[in-house]
Amino acid sequence: MSSGVAWAPGGIPVLRPGSLLEACTLRQAHPGYGLIVDGAGLLPAPGAGVHLPDGVIDLRGVPELADLAISGPEVRLGATTTFATLQREPDLLAGWPLLGQAAAARGADQVRSQATLGGDLLYAAAAGDSLPPLAVYCARVELRSRRGTREVDLLDFYRKDGHDLAPDELLAAVRLPRPQPGTLQRFCKVGTGSAPAAAELAVALTLTRDQGDGTFQAVHLASHPLGPGVLRLTASEHLLEGQPLTPELLDRVAAQVAEEVQSAADGGVGARDRPGVAGEVVRRFLEELLP
């Protein structure tokens, strides 16, 4: 194997695989090891809790995990694709601009050069800015192991006890279908309290509009953070689908968004403010579409 071995503080070993096959082999051989996919933190091994893992597998040097490939109907983004890359790739911005907007909202250049798509997916922390765009783009998560490749819907990737990730699996990539021509796409990130880093809220929306009767179709609406993972606001989506926008419908949708966010709130910093903020963000998205 070509993996490098180092030692982290606390005396735990750090393995650095040089290929995806090697990474999967190490993952299978060391299920008690945590994973590093960006410069922000460590994904603990299953059941590790707050204790140090047995060791660490650092995936940042695996070239296959940094691939960004666009092929007609979809884009495939490797798990270690950085936010800096999301912000500067013109073909990606042309089809999936919300990812670039989410990357721009992450902070300083140094932060964007270290933060990765896989980090957002695995850590799902308050700074998971890419999660709402991924949700409204109907992302699928690609998982790899020595046993093969498995794909799951992004929303199914999160569970109450963590992720749908077997002890021998790695997060390899996410796949996004290309939005329909004419799709309206919106993203907004706001702070909801006096500690913005801990109380931020991100909202994303995509929809199409029938040019004949003005009704909305293919509505996708998502928000984060609301506890683990990302929330699709399905009841709000259903209110909009098949309807022409009126001031009365706009009020109903803003109220429904607030209700869904309230029901999913995790009680963390800014939780009291998030429902109303999310409703107002969606209201602003839609006001420009009023006849």
d(CA 90, CA 97): 9
Q: What is the pLDDT of residue 101?
A: 96
- The torsion angles phi and psi of 227, rounded to 5 degrees, stand at 95, -160
Report the run of H or E that residue 86 belongs to, with start and end.
helix 83-88
| Of 216, 138, 201, 218, residue with least CA distance to 174 | 138
- Say if residue 63 is preceded by a cis peptide, omega within 30 of 0: no
CA dist 173 to 49, 88, 140, Å?
Answer: 25, 19, 9
The tens digit of pLDDT for each residue in 174-201 reads 999 999 999 999 999 987 554 444 457 8
- The torsion angles phi and psi of 254, rounded to 5 degrees, stand at -60, -40
The most confident of the ranges 6-15, 112-121, 177-186 is: 177-186
Chain centroid, CA 173 distance in Å: 12
63-177, CATH topology level: 3.30.465
Bridge partner list, 186: 205
Q: What is the pLDDT of residue 206?
A: 98
Which residue has 């009704």 as its token pair?
215
CATH architecture of the domain with residue range 184-287: 2-Layer Sandwich (3.30)
Sequence ranges of the chain with CATH classification 3.30.390.50: 184-287
Residue 111 reports pLDDT greater than 90: no
| Of 142, 130, 123, 150, residue with least CA distance to 34 | 123
d(CA 261, CA 277): 10
The tens digit of pLDDT for each residue in 92-108 reads 999 999 999 999 988 78
The tens digit of pLDDT for each residue in 139-176 reads 999 999 999 999 999 999 998 778 899 999 999 999 99
Percent of the chain with pLDDT over 90: 64
Sequence ranges of the chain with CATH classification 3.30.465.10: 63-177
| Of 56, 58, 80, residue with least CA distance to 67 | 80
d(CA 139, CA 174): 6
More confident residue, 16 or 46: 16
Q: What is the pLDDT of residue 191?
A: 77
Q: What is the pLDDT of residue 165?
A: 92
Residue 3 reports pLDDT greater than 70: no
Residue 199 DSSP code: S
Q: What is the pLDDT of residue 108?
A: 84
The amino acid occupying position 199 is A
Residue 281 reports pLDDT greater than 60: yes
| Of 105, 156, 150, residue with least CA distance to 128 | 105
Contacts of 131 (CB under 8 A, 6+ apart): 120, 121, 124, 154, 202, 222, 224, 229, 230
Query: What rounded mean pLDDT belongs to the chain?
Result: 87
The tens digit of pLDDT for each residue in 203-249 reads 999 999 988 888 999 999 999 876 668 999 999 999 999 999 999 99
Bridge partner list, 232: 222
